[in-house]
């Protein structure tokens, strides 16, 4: 898994509450067996109309947000079903960080397993980010996971909280398998000892 240390990226807004996983990646696109290729379907029913034509009114379709890698949204982001395809789609689209006042628990946990940094800020702080994004073209944030800070070019400086275990997961680029493989020598020794005792 790709490590996350620092990110400087354009901010893309999705100004909605209770964004559920079916809105993030609609169920009809869950047939793929790979983890990649889901980005094209991110927010599909908002990004396109019923004929598949791009909806110019949807925030992320506006040219000023092209290439955004920081997503901001409102409360309860990632609610609904527990599909891991949701963070896969967010990551594949190009977002490495999602900022919201709150997240659904399963979605939040899945972000860390897929190299995405979800940051919880107060509703007031998130509202300020929405205002800054609206007032500046190509509004950019600097997210520093090592120091747990968010800054911009206009004086913003926010310290965010994050469980240290999760922070280390991202800093080292570890998923559950990678964490287990850190103990590969001990696992091998245990298996050899167990095999030897079975033959005795």
Q: Taking the chain (200 residues) in consecutive chunks of 10 residues, what is each chunk's mean pLDDT?
A: 94 98 95 87 96 95 97 97 94 97 97 96 98 97 98 97 94 67 50 58
Amino acid 183: pLDDT = 42
Amino acid 186: pLDDT = 53
Instruction: Name which CATH class applies to 6-174.
Output: alpha beta
Question: What is the per-residue burial (b if ≥16 Cβ within 10 Å, else e) of 48-75?
Answer: eeeeeeeeeebbbeeebbeebbbbbbbe
- CA gyration radius, the chain: 19
Angle (nearest 5°) at CA 107 between 106 and 113: 90
Q: Are strands 70-73 and 97-100 parallel, antiparallel or unpaired?
A: parallel
Both tokens of 65, joined, read: 């947000």
The 8-class DSSP code of residue 119 comes to: E
Amino acid 197: pLDDT = 61
CB 100 within 8 Å of CB 77:
yes
Cα–Cα distance measured from residue 142 to residue 74, given in angstroms and rounded to the nearest whole number: 20
Amino acid 47: pLDDT = 97
Amino acid 10: pLDDT = 98
> Going along the chain, which residue ranges are E strands?
6-14, 70-73, 97-100, 117-120, 140-144, 149-151, 157-159
Cα–Cα distance measured from residue 118 to residue 112, given in angstroms and rounded to the nearest whole number: 8
The structural domains of the chain, with segments of one domain joined by +, span 6-174
pTM: 0.87
Amino acid 102: pLDDT = 98
Amino acid 2: pLDDT = 85
């Amino acid at each position: 898994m790709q490590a996350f240390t620092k990110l400087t990226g354009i901010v893309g807004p999705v100004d909605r509450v209770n964004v559920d996983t079916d809105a993030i990646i609609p169920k009809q696109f869950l047939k793929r067996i790979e983890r990649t290729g889901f980005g094209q379907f991110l927010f599909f029913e908002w990004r396109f109309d019923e004929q598949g034509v791009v909806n110019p009114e949807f925030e992320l379709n506006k040219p000023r947000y092209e290439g955004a890698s920081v997503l901001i949204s409102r409360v309860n982001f990632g609610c609904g079903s527990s599909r891991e395809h949701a963070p896969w789609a967010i990551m594949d689209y190009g977002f490495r960080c999602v900022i919201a006042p709150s997240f659904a628990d399963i979605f939040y946990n899945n972000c860390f397993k897929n190299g995405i940094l979800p940051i919880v800020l107060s509703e007031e702080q998130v509202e300020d980010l929405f205002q800054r994004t609206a007032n500046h073209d190509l509004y950019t944030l600097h997210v520093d996971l090592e120091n747990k800070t968010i800054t911009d070019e206009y004086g913003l400086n926010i310290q965010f909280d994050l469980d240290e275990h999760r922070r280390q997961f991202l800093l080292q680029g570890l998923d559950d398998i990678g964490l287990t493989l850190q103990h590969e020598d001990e696992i091998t020794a245990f298996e050899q000892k167990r095999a030897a005792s079975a033959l005795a």
